Structure 1
């Protein structure tokens, strides 16, 4: 655990996590799509848990909308920003904690559970299942769980088509094209069917899988890229109508798996 915490400190010390969802069209799209689905499944009076809350973009927005929010974040620097940004908001509580151990919470406590960061950084199968099991455990019966994950195939398209494809392939796949997970990846991706398969034996009912950011992570790196506010609004509306289509999932680096306990 100590090694993983140090690695995460290093990763999140490299960039401004607090601005990630606001400073680019890709981040804005990911935020809007994700919040659209959170809003779809929450109702007045719900208690919400966000595990891996980062600097609190989702948790604080939900608290401002009147929900009772509990935020758990492992990286201390992120948690400090979260607490600073949440100052004065009475209906949000923030704790330092690990997705692998939510023992501070009783079974069946939350109506909606958001597991938005941890699956990017869990490399061992037992740890991934532990995080999912803990999220399910603390969720009330009939509660909804939204889990964010990365597509390994989209990572290849967005990061490794500039003369470094061999490097990316070696980092993400074995010789039989099976996705690899290991600490040195920093961010680990999944085959979408592989990810969905982790839930098959768990006490949840599948709702949907959602493409959260489409191809924007790729195209926004083009120096000629531009998108007006009007075009972005139209593109967002378009994505909201197609983001559950299976053919759209492989384009998107960021995805959401949604299920009901």
Structure 2
């Protein structure tokens, strides 16, 4: 089972039609953990007067939070529904510029321009290895020397468990995806009811980036940890308990033995 670039783009356009992204990070406590953990790490790098580019911004969740702190943000997304919604949301904001653009080609944006770069969605929507490298290369190109570049990945196993094994009929769902049972590896899944944007391991990709680009690795952290695996319990937590859960996620965000339980993982690169 294989998929070409045009087919993948069509799937992407369908999946995100109707500004799907707007509520994804806020509609449950379990979902909100991804946003909270990421902002925790973003704040480690933000400095006064910083200029940020949010590539693959969705409907602007991170753009909104960062711009409301007074930072200048350029927000780019490929999907026209997301771009339209961001223009509505940020129409009166003097410190936010919204563009429709492709993470693979940011030619409108000059080299060495941004103090912090977010690439929070494009890499896991790109299923070709070289395209993933190209997207990261473009993000690094527009970053200033010493700037952090946040690159998000969706690891394979947490979404496989959440969307396939916790579905109504896992045995039937798993027949519809490219899946090697002996190694539990997803190879492709364009026919399942939920399209998983997964990658089995990010080490090959991140090592390739470090070999070919002027960059070093910063921290790698889990954005949501075990939140989706135990989402019912997380969603039912009291405010005090939820605060403790967030503290646990922060404390364990970089633990390699827990990384695979997280739906989303970020590798921070530092431009040399």
TM-score, normalised relative to structure 2:
0.87
Q: Which residue of 44, 50, 56 corresponds with 1:46?
A: 50
Say which is worse superposed, 138-147 or 160-169, in terms of deviation: 160-169
Secondary structure of the residue aligned to 2:236 is: coil
Pairing partner for 1:203 from 204, 207, 214 = 214
Which of 144, 164, 171 aligns to 2:177? It is 171
d(CA) in 1 for partners of 2:164, 2:208: 27
Q: SS of 1:110's equivalent?
A: coil
Compute the displacement of 1:17 (Å): 1.7
- Runs (5+) with no aligned partner, structure 1: none
- Select which of 74, 81, 89 maps to 2:93: 89
Alignment partners' CA distance in 1, 2:49 and 2:215: 22
Which residue pairs with 2:198 in the alignment? 189
Deviation per CA, 1:118-160: give whole Å up to 9, x if none.
Answer: 1121011121111011111111111110011101022222222
SS of the aligned residue for 2:116 comes to: strand
Pairing 1:33–2:44 present: no
Aligned positions of 1:6-85 closer than 5 A: 6-13=10-17, 16-85=20-89
Give the conservation status (yes or no) of the 8 Å contact 1:210–1:249: yes
Task: Using the TM superposition, give the Cα deviation of residue 250 of structure 1 relative to its aligned residue in structure 2, in angstroms.
Answer: 1.0
- Alignment coverage as a number of residue pairs: 260
Contact 2:55 2:119 in 1 (8 A): yes
Three-state SS of the structure 2 residue aligned to 1:13 is: coil
Establish whether residue 180 from structure 1 lines up as the match of residue 187 from structure 2: yes
In 2, Cα distance between equivalents of 1:31 and 1:18: 12
1:112 to 92, 116, 119: 116
Asked if structure 1 preserves the Cα contact closer than 8 Å seen for 2:30 and 2:235, the reply is no
User: What's the offset of the Cα at 1:241?
Assistant: 1.1
Aligned 8 A contact 2:28 2:235 in 1:
no
Alignment of 1:161 with 2:173, yes or no, is no
| Residues 121, 230 of structure 1: alpha-carbon distance in 2 compared, 3 angstrom cutoff | same
Structure 1 segment 133-148 matched on structure 2, within 5 A = 133-148=137-152
Deviations 1:215-234 (A, max 9, x none): 22122257x96111111111
User: How far is 1:103 from its partner?
Assistant: 0.3
* Contact persistence 1:120–1:187 (CA under 8 A): no
Classify 1:181/1:144 alpha carbon distance in 2 versus 1 (closer, same or farther; 3 Å).
Answer: farther
* 2:253 equivalent to 1:240: no
Cα deviations by residue, 1:30-69 (Å, 9 ceiling, x for unpaired): 0000011111111111110010000001012111111110
Deviation at 1:25, TM superposition (A): 1.3
> How far apart, in 1, do the equivalents of 2:7 and 2:164 lie?
27
Structure 2 alignment gaps of length 5 or more: none
**Displacement after TM superposition at 1:15 (Å):** 7.2
- Residue 250 of structure 1 is matched in structure 2 by 260
